[in-house]
Amino acid sequence: MTSWTQWRAAGERVELATEGGTRRLFVRDSGPHPGGARPMLLLHGFPTSSLDWASVWPALTRNRRCVAFDFLGFGASDKPRPHDYRLVEQADLVERVVQATGLASPIVVAHDYAVSVAQELLARTLAGTGTPLSAVAFLNGGLFPALHRPLPIQRVLASPLGALLTVFVTRRALRRSLDRIMVHPLDAAAFESHWESIAHDAGHRLTHALLAYIAERRRFSVRWSAALHATRLPLAFIWGMQDPISGGHVMRHLRTTLPLARHVPLEDVGHYPQLEAPDAVVAALEAFAAEV
């Protein structure tokens, strides 16, 4: 198991110029480059960090270059306060990371929070304004707000009272939440590493601000749903079917509405396929990449 300390030591904080000023984001860049198979850009979910990809990283980077980074407000990246954290801004940062690292038409792999970022990237590609991509693979996330089932604590923290309630975002509360949405829970050491990434620079006190993504998904639901259905890029959905937030009910909808996409149901897996079934996720991503 890779600890958060080890994960951070293998990456670097990269300065990126944005409309809001210079931001420093933690970036992990591994694998053969130039050369090798088509590169992948791996985008993590809420409330964790790029450490989510540590279990699949060695296998994926054996023959291809992979880049992962912590979104603004997460992990070892900057956590400005106060700040209006928006998924659209995170998509801007994805494009800047791609530019800064020189990734050429990567396959995007997105989980949870990041599925909406990837949908925004697809919408920009359709409009002819986005970063060139080769394909997108989605892991469990709220692609369709009407089907999204956030945990009760997320609903409360996303409310106007959220800023006052972040005192309840504790190590113990996170453990309970993760255990509810994972079929195969993290062991103690792995959980501690993820908690460290969340609590770094008091990031757990930003939970209410980061959860603004729930409302933003509703605001852009038409644009982002249309992007999924109109894109000509290959799509894959690698899905933990026992996820109570975005599980089998979402996969059933995807199979009906996007029948030409690649669907990979993982029957005995919850919300975090890359943590619960890393070998199956690697196999699914490599098979998808081979088709691309």
What is the residue type of 250? V
**85-102 confidence digits (pLDDT tens):** 999 999 999 999 999 999
The range of the structural domain enclosing residue 202 comes to: 4-291
Q: What is the mean pLDDT of the chain?
A: 93
Q: Give percent above pLDDT 70 in the chain.
A: 95
Give the per-residue pLDDT at 266: 98
3-state secondary structure of 172: helix
Look at strands 107-111 and 37-43 and give their pairing: parallel
**203-261 confidence digits (pLDDT tens):** 998 988 998 999 999 999 999 999 999 999 999 999 999 999 999 999 999 999 999 99
Which DSSP symbol is given to 171?
H
| Interatomic CA distance for residues 132 and 104, integer angstroms | 8
Domain count, the chain: 1
Q: Residues 189, 191, 197, 199: is their CA dihedral positive or negative?
A: negative
Give the per-residue pLDDT at 291: 93
| Interatomic CA distance for residues 111 and 179, integer angstroms | 18
14's tokens = 């990269």
Residues linked to residue 266 through DSSP beta bridges, in sequence order:
240
Confidence label for 17 from pLDDT (cuts 50, 70 and 90): confident
257 with 229: CB under 8 angstroms?
yes
Who's near 271: CB < 8 A, 6+ residues apart?
Answer: 112, 140, 181, 182, 240, 243, 244, 245, 246, 247
34's tokens = 């130039």
Give Rg (Cα) of the chain.
17
Q: Provide the CATH number for the domain around residue 16.
A: 3.40.50.1820
| Interatomic CA distance for residues 159 and 210, integer angstroms | 12
Total-model pTM: 0.96
113 with 45: CB under 8 angstroms?
yes
27's tokens = 């970036």
Who's near 115: CB < 8 A, 6+ residues apart?
Answer: 138, 139, 141, 142, 143
Give the per-residue pLDDT at 36: 78
Find tokens 């098979």 and name the residue: 287
